[in-house]
């Protein structure tokens, strides 16, 4: 078990810098999710911690020790890959035992530790099978098992659930979280799925274009996004962006500045009674809730989340939007949160 | 899952395989049949008449010391060629797989020898090792080692093995490199994280995953060493000195076309055919079991 410190981490391929200086401190036993869109550098960052990519500048410390120049095997880490990366020619048992055999762990202890992991992951009936004889979910468990038998200081997960179907993904998400809690091992988890990030993370690092836009607890990030990017990326549907000042008694926004409102912070009222009106385009009834899409006179597309039992507004009708001014966030033209 | 093609026309599938069948019939089954037929006859010295001798040609062959020695020569030659060309090719492929900058140039250069015809490859090596004018023979002489493969059977064998292996390295390299690149990178990375050093990864992960390629190349290389090395041997040593490099296929040629003993030559062809069939079957039966597909 160990804490991780990232100090001004940068990565360049030739002249192109893809990671522009990331600082983060991860406490021992913490579950950190690195979330961001494709190509934001989140996997590269994880692979630098793993030792699979070199670090152009900055320091990575695991348990206080700078590991920049260490081989992956010297870093006391375990990693679960997106495609599981199981050894196709070995049985489930041998897949899990491989790292222990290399570490010269005595045979009885290997058998014991693999058996324990197999029991935890409900893999006991499959120990003699080859990976190709397993389902996607079972392969995923074997990959997890391979990581936990080694009792590493740090778990690294590279989009481990993205090859599973939606139902299994939810189930494995819960299992990963429970397992990490139980073992108390520091975890660094990369995903592009903001629901996974919200549900798994103690704290999350939201990345965009090689920069850590915000680091914080999921609900904190959701309620107080530091940038317009974070506001749009975290939350589904994303935060509404309105390009005009709608709060009464305020000066107009600076050119390029915008205000943001979460879809659930808007109530539907009669036209003229709210802060702004919009024309309903269409509705998406999801059961528990309904998403109402519409356009303001200024051309901003907005989404409003209303209770699922409210009667659906007809397309084309004009509706007023009531918003608590305290819920309105403002963003400067550079995308950062404005003071007021 | 197997995908089957359904043809609407009954004759189209036969038409499509006909060219391949025709080539096999004309260039394999017909000559093979002729060889089997002729192996039971002895023609007179002028080729005007033939006499039926049954298994006489075979009896004579296996009673012949030179023919029995040729078996041993073939075994030594093909093991040396196969092992050296495959291991060198694997080594080169592993290195080329790690090269990132200019990998295209390295690969092209390594594949080039394959475009050289066996006879030309033989002549190239002959030039370098010619006892009187060859540059390498001269360099060896400077170091106090006398090189004369026209007198020394061991040296002659070394030279034809080197030339034959060199020629086949490109082919093996190409397949090994493709095999290496087909191994998912993340599997290797997982092994690195599991603590395996480069060599440990190679022997426990890469080599087993490469085994289908290795097996295929083993079969192909043994057949290459048995048959396709004829041109190399013919240009460099002509089977000599003292038959020390006369492998079975070369003996078929020299007894038949130089010695004009067509009956014996045909019988030797039949023996060779049976031998290679047995070898291939053995490889599939016993070695393929250890292959992980």
B209 contact residues in A (CB cutoff 8 A): 88-89
A78 contact residues in B (CB cutoff 8 A): 193
Residue with tokens 């590991």: A67
B189 contact residues in A (CB cutoff 8 A): 50, 52, 72, 79, 81, 85
Residue B156: alpha-carbon gap to chain centroid? 18
Dihedral pair phi/psi, residue A84, rounded to 5°? 75, -35
What is the structure's pLDDT at B293? 62
Closest CA to A192 of A154, A223, A162: A162
Among A13, A71, A72, the strongest candidate for a mutation testing the B interface, having the largest count of B CBs within 10 A, is A72
Q: Are A88 and B210 in contact (CB under 8 A)?
A: no
DSSP B5: -
Q: Does A282 touch chain B (CB under 8 A)?
A: no
Asked if pLDDT for residue B3 goes beyond 90, the answer is no
Q: Does A163 touch chain B (CB under 8 A)?
A: no
Can you tell me the distance from the alpha carbon of A254 to that of B87, in angstroms, rounded to the nearest whole number?
71
Closest Cα in chain B, distance from residue A335 (Å): 37
Which residues partner with A267 through β-bridges? A322
Asked whether the bond before B259 is cis by omega within 30 degrees of 0, the reply is: no
Q: Which residues in chain B (156-195) have CB-CB distances under 8 A to chain A?
A: 184, 186-187, 189-195
Q: Does A73 touch chain B (CB under 8 A)?
A: yes
HEC string for A249-265: CCCCCCCCCEEEECHHH
Residue with tokens 């040729």: B70
What is the structure's pLDDT at A1? 66
Cβ–Cβ below 8 Å for A102 and B189:
no
SS3 A50: helix
Dihedral pair phi/psi, residue A227, rounded to 5°? -140, 165
Average pLDDT over residues B191-203: 90
Helices B30-38/B262-282 angle, 10° precision: 120
Which CATH number applies to A240-331: 3.40.50.10860, 2.40.50.140, 1.10.1040.10, 3.40.50.150? Answer: 2.40.50.140
How does residue A31 score in pLDDT terms, banded at 50, 70 and 90?
Answer: very high
Of A77, A83, A103, the CB nearest to B184: A83
A83 contact residues in B (CB cutoff 8 A): 184, 186
Average pLDDT over residues A17-39: 90
Strand A31-35's sheet: what is its strand order?
A77-80, A154-158, A186-191, A31-35, A203-208, A211-216
Q: What is the pLDDT of residues B131-160, one digit of tens each?
A: 888 889 899 888 888 888 888 888 889 999
Which CATH number applies to A4-233: 3.30.70.360, 3.40.50.300, 3.40.250.10, 3.20.20.10? Answer: 3.40.50.300
Q: What DSSP string describes B242-288?
A: TTTT--HHHHHHIIIIIS--HHHHHHHHHHHHHHHHHHHHHIIIIIG
How does residue B113 score in pLDDT terms, banded at 50, 70 and 90?
Answer: confident
Can you tell me the distance from the alpha carbon of B190 to that of B170, in angstroms, rounded to the nearest whole number?
30
Q: H or E element: which one contains B97?
A: helix B65-98
Q: What is the pLDDT of residues B16-72, one digit of tens each?
A: 999 999 999 999 899 889 888 888 888 777 777 788 888 888 888 888 888 888 889
Residue A68: alpha-carbon gap to chain centroid? 25
From residue A45, alpha-carbon distances to A40, A229, B45 in Å are: 10, 19, 82
Of B186, B195, B197, the CB nearest to A85: B186
Q: What is the pLDDT of residues A236-276, one digit of tens each?
A: 889 999 988 888 777 777 888 899 999 999 998 988 888 88
Can you tell me the distance from the alpha carbon of B189 to that of B292, in angstroms, rounded to the nearest whole number?
20
Q: Are B122 and B231 in contact (CB under 8 A)?
A: yes
Of B193, B197, B205, the CB nearest to A77: B193
Q: Are B173 and B254 in contact (CB under 8 A)?
A: no
Closest Cα in chain B, distance from residue A182 (Å): 22
Domain range annotation of chain A: 4-233, 240-331
Residue with tokens 């550079």: A334
Q: What is the pLDDT of residues A168-205, one digit of tens each?
A: 888 888 888 888 888 889 999 999 988 889 999 999 99
In chain B the first and final C-alpha atoms are separated, in Å, by 15
What is the structure's pLDDT at B2? 59
Asked if pLDDT for residue B1 goes beyond 60, the answer is no
Dihedral (Cα; A115, A118, A123, A128), 10-degree rounding? -40
Can you tell me the distance from the alpha carbon of A64 to that of A240, in angstroms, rounded to the nearest whole number?
42
Instruction: Compute the mean pLDDT over every residue in chain A, rounded to the nearest whole number.
Output: 89
Asked if pLDDT for residue A113 goes beyond 70, the answer is yes
Cβ–Cβ below 8 Å for A88 and B209:
yes
Cβ–Cβ below 8 Å for A85 and B205:
no
Closest Cα in chain A, distance from residue B211 (Å): 10
Cβ–Cβ below 8 Å for A102 and B192:
no
Domains assigned to chain B: 66-290 (1.10.3720.10)
What is the structure's pLDDT at A339? 67
Asked if pLDDT for residue A44 goes beyond 60, the answer is yes
Closest Cα in chain B, distance from residue A155 (Å): 11
Cβ–Cβ below 8 Å for B196 and A85:
no
Can you tell me the distance from the alpha carbon of A295 to that of A318, in angstroms, rounded to the nearest whole number?
10
Can you tell me the distance from the alpha carbon of A24 to that of B272, in angstroms, rounded to the nearest whole number?
71
Can you tell me the distance from the alpha carbon of B217 to that of B204, in angstroms, rounded to the nearest whole number?
20
> Which range has the top average pLDDT, A335-339, B75-79, B263-267?
B75-79
Can you tell me the distance from the alpha carbon of A276 to that of A258, in angstroms, rounded to the nearest whole number?
15
Chain B residue whose CA is closest to A96: B194
Nearby residues of B210 by Cβ (< 8 Å), 6 or more positions away: B90, B176, B179, B180, B183
Residue with tokens 């043809």: B7
Q: Of the ranges A56-70, B19-33, B101-115, B144-158, which one carries the lowest mean pLDDT score?
A: B101-115
Q: What is the ipTM of this complex?
A: 0.81
CB burial of residue B78 (10 Å; 0-12, 13-18, 19+)? buried
Q: What is the pLDDT of residues A207-232, one digit of tens each?
A: 998 888 999 999 999 999 999 999 98
Chain B residue whose CA is closest to A49: B193
Can you tell me the distance from the alpha carbon of A23 to that of A10, in angstroms, rounded to the nearest whole number?
10
Query: H helices within A42-81, ranges in order?
Result: 42-50
């Amino acid at each position: 078990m160990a804490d991780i410190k990232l100090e001004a981490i940068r990565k360049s391929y030739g002249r192109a810098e893809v990671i522009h200086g990331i600082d983060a401190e991860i406490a021992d036993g913490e579950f950190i999710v690195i979330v961001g869109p494709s190509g934001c550098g989140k996997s590269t960052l994880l692979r630098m911690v793993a030792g699979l990519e070199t670090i152009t500048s900055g320091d990575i410390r695991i348990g206080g020790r700078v590991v920049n120049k260490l081989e992956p095997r010297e870093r006391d880490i375990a990693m679960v890959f997106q495609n599981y990366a199981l050894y196709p020619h070995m049985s489930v048992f041998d897949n899990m035992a491989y790292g222990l055999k290399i570490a010269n762990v005595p045979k009885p202890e290997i058998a014991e530790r693999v058996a324990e992991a197999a029991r935890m992951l409900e893999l006991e009936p499959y120990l003699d099978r080859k990976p190709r004889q397993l389902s996607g979910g079972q392969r995923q468990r074997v990959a997890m098992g391979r990581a936990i038998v080694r009792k590493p200081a740090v778990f690294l997960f590279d989009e481990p659930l993205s090859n599973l179907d939606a139902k299994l993904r939810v189930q494995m998400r819960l299992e990963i979280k429970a397992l990490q809690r139980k073992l108390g091992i520091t975890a660094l988890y990369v995903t592009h799925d903001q629901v996974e990030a919200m549900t798994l993370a103690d704290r999350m690092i939201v990345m965009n274009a090689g920069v850590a836009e915000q680091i914080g607890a999921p609900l904190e990030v959701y309620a107080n996004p530091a940038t317009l990017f974070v506001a749009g990326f975290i939350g589904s549907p994303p935060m509404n962006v309105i390009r005009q000042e709608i709060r009464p008694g305020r000066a107009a926004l600076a050119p390029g500045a915008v205000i943001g409102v979460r879809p659930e912070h808007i109530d539907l009222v009669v036209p003229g009674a709210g802060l702004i009106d919009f024309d309903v385009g269409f509705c998406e009834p999801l059961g528990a809730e309904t998403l109402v899409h519409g356009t303001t006179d200024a051309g901003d597309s907005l989404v409003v989340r209303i209770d699922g039992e409210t009667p659906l507004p007809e397309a084309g009708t004009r509706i007023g939007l009531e918003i608590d001014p305290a819920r309105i966030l403002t963003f400067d033209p550079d995308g950062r949160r404005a003071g007021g | 899952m197997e995908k089957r093609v359904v043809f609407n026309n009954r004759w189209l599938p036969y038409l499509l395989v006909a060219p391949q069948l025709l080539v096999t019939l004309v260039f394999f089954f017909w000559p093979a049949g002729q060889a089997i037929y002729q192996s039971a006859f002895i023609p007179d010295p002028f080729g005007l008449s033939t006499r039926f001798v049954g298994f006489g040609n075979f009896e004579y062959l296996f009673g012949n010391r030179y023919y029995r020695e040729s078996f041993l020569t073939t075994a030594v030659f093909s093991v040396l060629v196969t092992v050296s060309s495959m291991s060198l090719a694997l080594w080169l492929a592993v290195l080329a797989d790690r090269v990132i900058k200019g990998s295209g140039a390295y690969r092209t250069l390594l594949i080039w020898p394959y475009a050289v015809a066996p006879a030309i490859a033989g002549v190239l090596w002959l030039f370098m090792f010619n006892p009187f004018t060859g540059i390498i023979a001269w360099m060896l002489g400077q170091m106090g080692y006398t090189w004369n493969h026209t007198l020394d059977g061991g040296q002659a064998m070394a030279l034809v093995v080197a030339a034959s292996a060199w020629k086949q390295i490109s082919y093996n390299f190409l397949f090994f490199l493709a095999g290496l690149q087909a191994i998912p990178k993340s599997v290797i990375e997982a092994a690195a994280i599991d603590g395996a050093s480069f060599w440990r990864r190679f022997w426990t992960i890469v080599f087993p995953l490469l085994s289908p390629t290795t097996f295929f190349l083993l079969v192909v290389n043994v057949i290459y060493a048995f048959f396709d090395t004829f041109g190399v041997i013919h240009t460099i040593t002509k089977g000599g000195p003292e038959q020390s490099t006369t492998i079975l296929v070369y003996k078929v040629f020299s007894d038949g076309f130089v010695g004009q003993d067509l009956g014996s030559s045909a019988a030797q062809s039949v023996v060779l055919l049976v031998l290679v069939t047995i070898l291939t079957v053995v490889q599939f039966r016993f070695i393929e079991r250890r292959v992980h597909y």
